[in-house]
Amino acid sequence: MACKTTPGEWKYAIEMLKRSALPKMEEEVFPLLKFSYENLPITMKSCLLYCCMYPEDYCIPRKRLTEYWFCEGLLNEFDRISEAQMQGDYIISSLLSACLLERGGEIGGEDCVKMHDVIRDMALWITCELEASENNIFVKTGVQLLEEPDVKAWEDAKRMSVMKNKIEVLRGTPTCPNLKTLFLRENKLEVISDGFFHFIPHLTVLNLSENRTIRALPKGISQLISLECLDLSYTGITELPIELKSLKKLKMLELSYMYYLRKIPPHLITSFSKLQIFRMNHCQITEDYPEEDNVLNGNNELLIEELKSLQHLNIIRIWIKGMSALERFLSFHLFRSYTQALQLSNFRESNVFNVLCLENMEHLEELCFQYCESIEEMKMEKLSTSINYAPCFHTLNRVSILNCNKLTDVTWLILAPNLRFLSIYGCAKMEEILSEEKLGEVTDVVGIPNPKPFMKLETLDLGNLPELKSIYWDTLPFPCLKTICLWWGCPKLEKLPLNSHTTERNQVTILGREDWWATIEWENEATAGDAFLPSFRTVFK
């Protein structure tokens, strides 16, 4: 059809397609693809069929997919999720090699996979026609449903997905003795009836994420005594009900991006004795938490104390409010070992923060400083006298510095050699990202003079930095750089640490305002300026 350029030609082609006797997918195409499926091990088959619950062309986060497999019992080689990830990675790599899954790029820095439409149709065909008794899956994704499907259509299902619809209310009281996974993500849920979960005794995975209009969970959720995974991220829920105490088998609790969450009752978190994954980062920071019967009140030290009682935790992402809460958190060895993300907020005790207090966090991937308005300096002062000249933050790949109004630089980032994403916004006194004057402090820590920063950096995101004059005092190679975003409010930044060699190695996109771009000075206007002109994209005029 590439050579057909008029509407008439396309309409004619559509009419011919309707009239033609095309080979039936079930008779000619699916059997060929099914050959690849049948040569998979049993566990791998189940994992592949699980993927068809996502909508067409959906980017499926690899880690989250593995966690769902683990909670549903599909990964049986390991008891701990941190170890089961290895089995999950092996299965995904095998499915990629067999062309039954495709690489789906990244979302939010997380690797994703996709299922080709035809492979997905084959998987649905297998679950509906060939293996209905073992893998009965009910899928109605992205079809504009306004209400829950008739329960008769899914009462025998083992898994159900109605993702990306417009369902507002779940009214019924379904009896689903076999249902183990229920995906309700990306709907417009406002109300779930009290009786909805009463007769789903074996539900293991419940995904309610991205229902931003729902404000409360039903008390009947206490009936889900087999639940191992509860995903409430990006919901509008304001309070976790005490009825969740009944979920004794819970292994994964996802509370990230719950901007309206104001209350968690005391002793609720401690009741999840089998919990392995606890995520509660990127939540709204506020001062209006209810004071009574609430572990979020104060500096969330009560929450930290409850987490200490959970002996099986091995993945943690959490926000911490204030230095005293951080000190208490870091005093517990398991937290230092298993924390993947920290959101540090409202630090007001001191104007200096020693970043090396975090150097023993073995698996820290993401770090965010937010509303730390008293911090003027982030120093690099060793806490022990032992000589250890390794960079301190090997695992750190994402850093955000937001609304830290007195901070002048973040030179300590040189200690993060694998940093891939850096965002800095709303820092009124930030003059330079990396300071040449503080290079000596870095040398004292790593033992190497003039270490090259940002060798793995892919995205640099800057905005509302009225005093920023420099990113780095010299040009940098940036071998992995893909995007520089300067959205607004950086009027004094007149130089970028780039030269013409940067564009020779990789394609860099620079997003910014036209008036700012016109002020940029290059060391060699004739070469560097021309080299980067095709890379520039206007975001605001």
Q: What's the pLDDT at 92?
A: 97
Q: Are 487 and 475 in contact (CB under 8 A)?
A: no
Residue 55 CA to residue 139 CA, distance in Å, equals 9
Domain containing 28 — which CATH number? 1.10.10.10
Helices (H), 447-480: none
Closest CA to 369 of 412, 328, 338, 415: 412
More confident residue, 119 or 502: 119
Residue type, 185: R
Say which range, 22-36, 218-232, 344-358, has the weakest mean pLDDT. 22-36
Last residue of a domain, one of 120, 150, 176: 120
Instruction: Please determine, for residue 463, whether its predicted confidence score (pLDDT) is greater than 90.
Output: yes
- Quick one: average pLDDT of 426-450? 85
pLDDT digits (tens, 9 = 90+) for 192-224: 999 999 999 999 999 999 999 999 999 999 999
Would you say residue 251 lies in a domain?
no
DSSP class of 175: B
Last residue of a domain, one of 93, 120, 147: 120
Query: Residue 249, exposed/middle/buried by CB under 10 A (0-12, 13-18, 19+)?
Result: middle
Categorize the per-residue pLDDT at 100 as very low, low, confident or very high, splitting at 50, 70 and 90: very high
Q: What's the pLDDT at 22?
A: 46
Would you say residue 292 lies in a domain?
no
Would you say residue 305 lies in a domain?
no
Instruction: Please determine, for residue 464, whether its predicted confidence score (pLDDT) is greater than 80.
Output: yes
Domain count, the chain: 2
Would you say residue 66 lies in a domain?
yes
DSSP 193-208: -TTTTTB-TT--EEE-
Domain range spanning residue 421? 347-381+391-540
Percent of the chain with pLDDT over 90: 63
On the CB side of 464, CA atoms within 13 Å amount to: 11
Residue 158 CA to residue 166 CA, distance in Å, equals 23
Say which range, 208-217, 255-264, 290-299, 487-496, has the weakest mean pLDDT. 290-299
First to last CA, the chain: 38
Closest CA to 377 of 439, 430, 324, 423: 430
Q: CA 339, 340, 344, 350 torsion: positive or negative?
A: positive
- Consecutive H or E run containing 123: helix 117-125
Closest CA to 431 of 381, 376, 469: 469
Instruction: Please determine, for residue 25, whether its predicted confidence score (pLDDT) is greater than 70.
Output: no
Which residue shows structure tokens 């009419």?
A: 15
Instruction: Please determine, for residue 526, whether its predicted confidence score (pLDDT) is greater than 60.
Output: no
Q: Are 358 and 384 in contact (CB under 8 A)?
A: no
What are the strands, taking DSSP E only, across 108-178? 110-114, 137-139, 159-161, 169-170
User: Over the chain, what is the mean pLDDT?
Assistant: 89
Categorize the per-residue pLDDT at 130 as very low, low, confident or very high, splitting at 50, 70 and 90: low
DSSP 368-400: EEES-TT--EEE---SS-S---S-S-TT--EEE
Would you say residue 217 lies in a domain?
no
Residue 139 CA to residue 133 CA, distance in Å, equals 16
pLDDT digits (tens, 9 = 90+) for 113-126: 999 998 999 899 88
Q: Are 497 and 471 in contact (CB under 8 A)?
A: yes
Would you say residue 236 lies in a domain?
no
**Cβ neighbours of residue 233 under 8 Å, at least 6 residues apart?**
209, 210, 254, 255, 256, 257, 258, 279
Q: Are 233 and 210 in contact (CB under 8 A)?
A: yes
* pTM exceeds 0.85, yes or no: yes
What are the strands, taking DSSP E only, across 108-183? 110-114, 137-139, 159-161, 169-170, 181-183
Would you say residue 294 lies in a domain?
no
Last residue of a domain, one of 120, 141, 172: 120
Q: What's the pLDDT at 386?
A: 55
Angle among Cα 217, 222, 224 to the nearest 5 degrees reads: 105
Would you say residue 143 lies in a domain?
no
Instruction: Please determine, for residue 43, whether its predicted confidence score (pLDDT) is greater than 80.
Output: yes
* Secondary structure class of 65 (helix, strand, coil): helix
Instruction: Please determine, for residue 175, whether its predicted confidence score (pLDDT) is greater than 50.
Output: yes
Residue 304 CA to residue 327 CA, distance in Å, equals 11
- Quick one: average pLDDT of 363-389? 83
Residue type, 112: C
- Quick one: average pLDDT of 118-137? 80
Q: What's the pLDDT at 282?
A: 86
Q: What's the pLDDT at 271?
A: 97
Q: What's the pLDDT at 388?
A: 56
On the CB side of 306, CA atoms within 13 Å amount to: 19
Q: What's the pLDDT at 257?
A: 94
Q: What's the pLDDT at 540?
A: 65
- Quick one: average pLDDT of 72-80? 90
pLDDT digits (tens, 9 = 90+) for 310-334: 999 999 999 998 899 999 999 999 9
Instruction: Please determine, for residue 347, whether its predicted confidence score (pLDDT) is greater than 70.
Output: yes
**Cβ neighbours of residue 41 under 8 Å, at least 6 residues apart?**
none
C-alpha dihedral over 171, 175, 177, 179, to 10 degrees?
-20
Beta bridge partners of 182: 160, 206
- Quick one: average pLDDT of 501-529? 77
Q: What's the pLDDT at 266?
A: 95
Categorize the per-residue pLDDT at 256 as very low, low, confident or very high, splitting at 50, 70 and 90: very high
Q: Are 134 and 157 in contact (CB under 8 A)?
A: no
- Quick one: average pLDDT of 485-510? 83
Closest CA to 123 of 106, 105, 141: 141
More confident residue, 502 or 353: 353
Categorize the per-residue pLDDT at 287 as very low, low, confident or very high, splitting at 50, 70 and 90: low
- Quick one: average pLDDT of 69-96? 93
